[in-house]
Amino acid sequence: MKLSKLIEACDVIALRGNGEVEVTSITSDSRTVTPGSLFIAVEGIFTDGHAYIGKAIEQGAVAVVYDKPMIEEYFSRVTYVQVKQSAISLSQIASAWYGHPSSLLKLVGVTGTNGKTTIATLLYDAFRHLGYPSGLLSTVANYVDGERYPTTHTTLDPVTLNDFLRKMVDAGCEYAFMEVSSHAVHQKRVHGLRFAGAVFTNLTQDHLDYHKNMLEYRNVKKSFFDDLPVDAFALTNIDDKNGPVMLQNTKAAQYTYSVRGMADFKARIFEKHFDGTDIEINGKELTVQFVGTFNVYNLLAVYGAGILLGLDEEELLRTLSLLKPVAGRFQTLRSPQGYTVIVDYAHTPDALSNVLSAIDGVLNRKGRIITVVGCGGNRDKTKRPIMAREAVQLSDKAVFTSDNPRFEEPGEILQDMLDGLTEEQKGNTLTIADRREAIKTACALAQPGDVILIAGKGHEDYQEIKGVKHHFDDKEEVEKIFNKLKTKSEKIE
């Protein structure tokens, strides 16, 4: 593709060289430059892409896009394009390279601290169930109408992201559902995508390692809504105090959902049980296979977005009652000895307290709650003592363990958690850094009727320690324990 076509939408300050040069690939990583590449230099968190311009040219880049006037030596075989903001240009160029796939799909972005994967996945499941070819970009995996691809991020980098959207268009998808993380909005990964709609779930503490404070975190989310086009919909959870803020400056058509009061899409909860919940959505009763008030919010968001995308109300409600929980979200396993294990991805204070309240709501004090939980390394440290407190206050017994330690010492993360407890609470808490041992201990402590919550890692099938991902799957560990218990009881029989 010609460079001039690729940079059509970019805010170009200066161009030096041949604007009509033919580009054979685009990349923002010098390590993937090949002869004919366009290299886009972006300032990052750890390093600055501008430092690799020389290397990119050495490897055969024919053009360079940059935003800092720091080029020391110009080569006549290279075209230099100075833009206002490289990160934005990168997204615009990626969209152009793949033929603006987002404008050929009905693309819905879901943002908020918790519930993104659940809502995006359930939208994808619902639309496919109703016969519409669709795609999904999520924390768990990416799907191009049923074909699964592994993922690296909640929201991919602009090049990979547009590549997936193109694959969806080529596969005949009409709809695409994606998670939009605050990191992605801040780094302009979704800039230049054409959204048909956006959903806001909630805003509670997370990522204060990255965003300076909650206000900045909120404003980043809000900017996603500010940038929506006029023909899109903006659907927000009006029960969250930041829900209305998302609508303040958006040009999109505004809609709300609520479980507490008046809204365009409303739900009421009648009866909660372990396998599901009896609810009402906009006056129609149904039973869903999900537990917890937070999941009623998720389903209501799915319903609202489905209606706004033109689905039939009756068909959609029928589909909602058939939908099943998403991998690693409130996944229930029953032990041969009569206790229950729930594997869940709660890794924020709000998610943890929601999931524990949901368990308490259905357990009705007929058994004890044992919680196994840890906190991720190289992530928001300030959420650790709060998560620890939530776990202890809402369970009968807590076992603190490791999540993904990444580059931190597990003992130090555990200490940050323990710092949130009183001496008395500490006395009633077990600390077992080895996650496998922690799960074994919780299972050994459980009595028939008890519930063990294993929180934080959900679908993850690895544990990340010092840059290496070791295979580890909470569900697999539990199944191993259950199988041992089964063999033992068979031997006794």
Ligand X SMILES: Nc1ncnc2c1ncn2[C@@H]1O[C@H](COP(=O)(O)OP(=O)(O)OP(=O)(O)O)[C@@H](O)[C@H]1O
Ligand Y SMILES: CC(=O)N[C@H]1[C@@H](OP(=O)(O)OP(=O)(O)OC[C@H]2O[C@@H](n3ccc(=O)[nH]c3=O)[C@H](O)[C@@H]2O)O[C@H](CO)[C@@H](O)[C@@H]1O[C@H](C)C(=O)N[C@@H](C)C(=O)N[C@H](CCC(=O)O)C(=O)O
Ligand Z SMILES: N[C@H](CCC[C@H](N)C(=O)O)C(=O)O
What does the binding site for ligand Y look like in residue numbers (CB under 6 A)? Answer: 28-31, 42, 44-47, 49, 52, 153-155, 157, 181, 183-184, 187
- Residue 456 to residue 468: CA distance in whole angstroms: 18
User: What is the smallest separation between the CB atom of 298 and ligand Z, expressed in angstroms?
Assistant: 17
Nearer to ligand X, 171 or 362 (CB): 362
Out of 457, 472, 475, 477, name the contact with ligand Z by CB under 6 A.
457
Out of 66, 97, 290, 345, name the contact with ligand X by CB under 6 A.
345
User: What is the footprint of ligand X within residues 350-369 (CB under 6 A)?
Assistant: 350-351, 354-355
- Give the contact letters, 329-368, x = binds to ligand Z (CB under 6 A), - = no: ------------------x---------------------
Q: Classify burial at 285, counting beta carbons within 10 Å of its beta carbon; exposed 0-12, middle 13-18, buried 19 or more.
A: exposed
Out of 37, 114, 139, 142, name the contact with Mg ion by CB under 5 A.
139
Q: Is 408 in the site for ligand Z (CB under 6 A)?
A: no
Residue type at 438 in one-letter notation: A
- Report how many residues bind ligand Z under the rule CB under 6 A: 9
Q: How many CB atoms lie within 10 A of CB 165?
A: 30
Residues 6 or more apart whose Cβ sits within 8 Å of residue 227: 191
Give the strand pairing for 175-179 and 134-137. Answer: parallel
454-487 per-residue burial string, b: 16 or more CB within 10 A, e: under 16: bbbbbbbeebbbeeeeeebbbbebbeebbeeeee
Out of 49, 101, 115, 197, name the contact with ligand X by CB under 6 A.
115
User: What is the footprint of ligand X within residues 452-481 (CB under 6 A)?
Assistant: 458
Out of 157, 344, 390, 474, name the contact with ligand X by CB under 6 A.
344
Out of 154, 204, 277, 429, name the contact with ligand Z by CB under 6 A.
154
User: What is the smallest separation between the CB atom of 159 and ligand Y, expressed in angstroms?
Assistant: 9
Query: What residues form the annotated binding site?
Result: 30, 112-118, 154-155, 181, 187, 189, 379, 403-406, 456, 460
Q: What is the 3-state secondary structure (H, E, C) of 243-293?
A: HHHHHCCCCCEEEEEECCCCCCEEEEEEEEECCEEEEEECCEEEEECCCCH
Q: Is 265 in the site for ligand X (CB under 6 A)?
A: no
Out of 116, 189, 347, 383, name the contact with Mg ion by CB under 5 A.
116
Q: In Å, what is the CA distance from 324 to each residue of 167, 227, 276, 295, 357? A: 26, 33, 10, 11, 20
- Give the contact letters, 90-109, x = binds to ligand Z (CB under 6 A), - = no: --------------------
Query: What residues form the annotated binding site for meso-2,6-diaminopimelate?
Result: 379, 403-406, 456, 460
Question: Could you tell me if residue 209 is left (phi over 0), alpha (psi between -120 and 50 degrees) or otherwise beta?
Answer: alpha
- Residue 113 to residue 246: CA distance in whole angstroms: 13
Nearer to Mg ion, 179 or 240 (CB): 179
Out of 30, 82, 113, 117, name the contact with Mg ion by CB under 5 A.
117
- Give the contact letters, 313-342, x = binds to ligand X (CB under 6 A), - = no: ----------------x-------------
Q: Is 117 in the site for ligand X (CB under 6 A)?
A: yes
Nearer to ligand Y, 160 or 289 (CB): 160
Q: Using alpha carbons only, how large is the chain's radius of gyration in Å?
A: 24
Nearer to ligand Y, 183 or 268 (CB): 183
* Residues near ligand X, by CB under 6 A: 114-118, 139, 154, 179, 201-202, 294, 297-298, 329, 344-346, 350-351, 354-355, 458
In the complex, the residues that contact ligand Z under the rule CB under 6 A are 154, 347, 376, 379, 403-404, 456-457, 460
